[in-house]
Amino acid sequence: MAELIRMVEDKRVSRAGGKTVLAALVAEGGEPGAIVEREGLAQISDSSELEGIVDEAMAAEPEAVEQVRSGNDKAIGAIVGAVMKRTRGRADGGEVSRMIRERL
């Protein structure tokens, strides 16, 4: 359990991924790291890996991009959501938001 908590704190796995790992640990036991690897739950926080995905999400959500540029900060959620969908929830939301704001 301590290993799983450290993984979430260190942002090696998202909170949602941590819940998935916890459920697997309860159901079948094992090691958190092995479950994360097996299920592909490792969080993506590497900027270079996220750059292309963020750019694609911004291109796919032009209305949200314009709304953010016009001062509607809540519209960034649509872009972040597109990135999360593409990465199956593995992207670091804070890093994604930072990258979007930097590009706009």
Looking at CATH, the fold of the domain delimited by 47-103 is given as: Arc Repressor Mutant, subunit A (1.10.10)
Extents of the domains making up the chain: 2-39, 47-103
Tell me which long-range contacts 25-33 makes (C-beta under 8 A, separation of at least 24). Answer: 25/1, 31/3, 32/3, 32/4, 32/7, 33/3, 33/7
pLDDT digits (tens, 9 = 90+) for 1-55: 899 999 999 888 988 889 999 999 999 999 999 999 998 888 887 788 899 999 9
d(Cα 101, Cα 103) in Å, to the nearest integer?
5
pLDDT digits (tens, 9 = 90+) for 2-14: 999 999 998 889 8
pTM: 0.74
